[in-house]
Structure 1
């Protein structure tokens, strides 16, 4: 009986982390200006920020997407491929599929959207959008941080 009481006093075991197949972020440039090296670097930094922040939360792990890379490369934007991202994630054995978009309307107006879908059903289970003012390292970082804090990790 004492053993049962001791076990009941222990905190419940945390849920196992969900595995995520992250297919990156697509830059949709409708600004009529060429994509700069700085923007390409910001895109890579945003992807790294997402993986790092979600991993550090202890709630997510990331699977290697290399096994389906050749097939995925046939699509321009995995965030808008009618569920191919979920199918790819399921093929990889992941629980969730994640993809995103940065849309650059001008150097002043940008938006960031992140989609988190159930790999089995394709249903949207998380994500969000953030409007960004200014095309700087800091503004991109803040936009990503906002979605992670307020939509994914809340």
Structure 2
């Protein structure tokens, strides 16, 4: 009986609560490999291709766990191939992201400086303006699955999402 009397009060409280904000749509592009000193496109080594896939999957999971909703980029595959590498195409990632319905753009690359020394760089930009909201770089020492994954998690945690994204808290 007490429960029945409490229901109207509980309903009144729930109506006054603000609705949870929907996650923002983000185009999370695969991480690319940059190898300074190579001229022209070079086929990826199988271990690099696999590690880029692992790192890209980890980035997608990390971004999703922090409240962004990755959009499906499959319909944009031809544009992504055409404009790659996205980290140096100056605005094409944002155009592709807008076409996919994203508000934010997440992309990055691994730069091999030496056989066991790599830099991972990731940026988050606004699809509409291209404005960089966050970016960061981390040094990866050791060319293993674990070091690549640790680099992604560390960069996301300590640089990209250490604080709420500007104007999105």
- The yes-or-no answer on 1:139 pairing with 2:147 is yes
- The yes-or-no answer on 1:42 pairing with 2:51 is yes
Once residues 89 and 37 of structure 2 are traced to their aligned partners in structure 1, the CA distance between those partners, rounded to angstroms, is 23
Map residues 5-154 of structure 1 onto 2, 5 A cutoff: 6=13, 13-30=19-36, 35-57=44-66, 59-154=67-162
Once residues 36 and 144 of structure 2 are traced to their aligned partners in structure 1, the CA distance between those partners, rounded to angstroms, is 17
SS of residue matched to 1:52: helix
5+ unaligned residues in a row in structure 1: which ranges? none
Q: TM-score, normalised by structure 1?
A: 0.85
How many correspondences in the alignment? 150
In the TM superposition, structure 1's runs of 4+ consecutive aligned residues that sit over 6 Å from their partners are none
Once residues 157 and 19 of structure 2 are traced to their aligned partners in structure 1, the CA distance between those partners, rounded to angstroms, is 23
Higher-Rg member (1/2): 2
Paired residues of 1:127 and 1:152 also in contact (CA < 8 A) = yes
How big is the alpha-carbon RMSD for the aligned residues of Structure 1 and Structure 2? 2.4
